Amino acid sequence: MAIDVTTVTLGEGEEQAVVATLNRPEVRNAIDEYMVAELHELCAQLEREPRILIITGCVAETSKGPRGIFASGADIAQLRERRREDALRGINSGIFQRLAQLPAPVIAAVDGFALGGGLELALAADFRVATPNAKFGQPEANLGIIAGAGALWRLKECVGLPLAREILMAGRILSGAEAHAAQLVNELAEPDELLDAARDLAGRIAALDPLAVRLSKQLLTMPDSAHPAVDNIAQAVLFESPAKFDRMQAFLAKKKK
């Protein structure tokens, strides 16, 4: 198995999040077609039963001792053999888009390398938590290809066009601290606290109304021309939701105390 899937309980309630741990330490979690297939299986489950997803990496043994690693990129041995029809199939871009479109939020918890496809995987998440020494970059141009699985448009949305150009066209690698300053990363945490930080973030999300969060996620990615009409429609759905009445009544009752 290229991915280990577990569940964690959030806070004191019964809400659970799914944790997917990339587990190919012998190749620094390089993303191959087997890993892609397992991610598709996981997405199918989360489309049927929406839950918050946390994607993280494993710990690999290195010459300097155990080190965390998210994903070092696509599997170059496989990538070298791909041809035009493989590119048109969108092997990696397809799974990253599916992850980005999951009903519930996705959190990437990043330690170590998040390069090439690894960064594109992290970019498909709604939130990113990282260690200060994580490494973010898109070295595809050095290999004679482009970052064709989402970085060419998602990256500039996160960090702006000037910095995106440096990363994509000049090979710049950002540390976790630099990525946080550039707003590519939402939060920083030390390696031994990384998963706890991701769980805490998942807990804050889970404390909100799931339907309101789900609709907000969908509306955020819609073109400007769709607003405000889609906002009105979504709000109409929520105005009839039992959760809206329960949550507003609880707010008013608490305010009276």
Give kind and range of the element (H or E) at residue 127: strand 127-130
Residue 161 exposed, middle or buried by CB count within 10 Å (0-12, 13-18, 19+): exposed
Task: In whole angstroms, give the CA distance from residue 84 to residue 103.
Answer: 32
Amino acid at 207: A
Q: Assess whether 178 carries a catalytic annotation.
A: no
Residue 92 exposed, middle or buried by CB count within 10 Å (0-12, 13-18, 19+): buried
> In this structure, what token pair is assigned to residue 23?
């587990």
Classify residue 184 by its DSSP letter.
S
Q: Assess whether 140 carries a catalytic annotation.
A: yes
- Say how far residue 125 (Cα) sits from the centre of its chain: 2
Beta partners for 57?
22
For 190: left if phi > 0, alpha if psi spans -120 to 50, otherwise beta; the answer is: beta
Is-contact 99 46, C-beta < 8 A? no
Residue 57 exposed, middle or buried by CB count within 10 Å (0-12, 13-18, 19+): buried
Classify residue 49 by its DSSP letter.
S
Q: How many helices (H) and strands (E) does the chain have?
A: 12, 10
Active-site residue, from 38, 120, 178, 240: 120
Task: In whole angstroms, give the CA distance from residue 112 to residue 180.
Answer: 15
Is-contact 147 122, C-beta < 8 A? no
Active-site residue, from 61, 140, 178, 190: 140
Catalytic residues: 120, 140
